[in-house]
Amino acid sequence: MADVASGDGVRESAYLRLARDLRASVLRHDYPDGVRLPTEAELAERYQVSRQTVRRAFQDLVAEGLVYRVAGRGTFATPREQQYLRQIGSVDDLMGLSLDTRMAVVTPLHRRVDVDAAGRLGLHTDRVHKLTFLRLHEDVAFCHTAVWLPPAVGRLLESVQELLLPGTPNALTVLGLLDQRLPEPIAEAEQSITVAEATPEIASHLNCEPGRPLLRIDRVYQSVTGQLVELAISHFLPEHYSYHVRLRRSGP
């Protein structure tokens, strides 16, 4: 999977929206082998954007390995068995991980005392709710994630049976569940990226050797009013996941 961050701006909105829609269509397998995606002209008319905007969206999907272009014939979805890339450029994209991946709970949602996690969530108590799970693509585990939630937030998920039963893959995301239940929507995430060695526990779940270097991504999510609602620490196998950032100069 590929994780891509992009700058904001009015001029970018049409391009990002189009790229996201095309990506979702490909991941849903709306265009099986041999079925051409809409042409640049068709998409430009449908979305009321320029051909250049459409071309940029296609270029992103080509870079992600989701589609390939054949001169004189058009753009086609990469055969399913070759797909393993996905762009994450927003909180909405993270909520949409269920399009092509599944969650398999390792440690069901439970209450516990965790001083470090509580501190990172800015809590006045040491009690949190915790959940660990694997993220799978085509039944292959590529990511191990631990999630900590403030008590009031964790209680909102205690009735979700899929989070209480380990093992069975499901199409849920914690972010999606929270967004449906929180009184105010999740607005943004603060993210840090490091490298960490696989602990024996994580290695056993990702089928790699202990001590193997993994990509570690920490995210702290907050609502529109600034309330911290989730801490997530994910460890990724580097051969199945990469992170790309598009940097732009500021100014006009």
End position of a domain, from candidates 23, 56, 82: 82
Q: Is residue 124 part of a domain?
A: yes
Tally of structural domains, the chain: 2
Same domain, 152 and 75: no
* In a domain? residue 157: yes
pLDDT tens digits for the chain (252 residues)?
A: 444 444 433 344 688 889 888 988 887 778 887 789 999 999 999 999 999 999 988 988 887 777 888 888 899 987 755 444 444 555 555 555 555 688 999 999 999 999 999 999 999 999 999 999 999 987 889 899 999 999 999 999 999 999 998 988 998 889 889 988 998 888 888 999 999 999 999 999 999 999 999 999 999 999 888 899 999 999 998 877 766 665 665 555
User: Is 45 in the same domain as 130?
Assistant: no
Instruction: Check whether residue 176 and residue 96 sit in a common domain.
Output: yes
Global confidence as pTM: 0.66
CATH code for position 133: 3.40.1410.10
Give the Cα separation of 129 and 154 in Å (integer): 5
Alpha helix locations (H) across the chain? 10-27, 40-47, 51-64, 91-95, 115-120, 151-154, 174-181, 200-206
- The answer to whether position 11 is within a domain reads yes
Contact (Cβ atoms closer than 8 angstroms) between residue 36 and residue 28: no
Q: What angle do CA 61, 207, 142 make, to 5 degrees?
A: 20
If asked whether residues 75 and 159 sit together in one domain, one would say: no
Are 69 and 194 contained in the same domain? Answer: no
Give the CATH number for residue 19.
1.10.10.10
Domain of 128? 91-245
Asked if the structure places residue 250 within a domain, the reply is no
Cα 154 from chain centroid (whole Å):
21
In a domain, 61, yes or no: yes
Residues 118 and 174 in one domain: yes
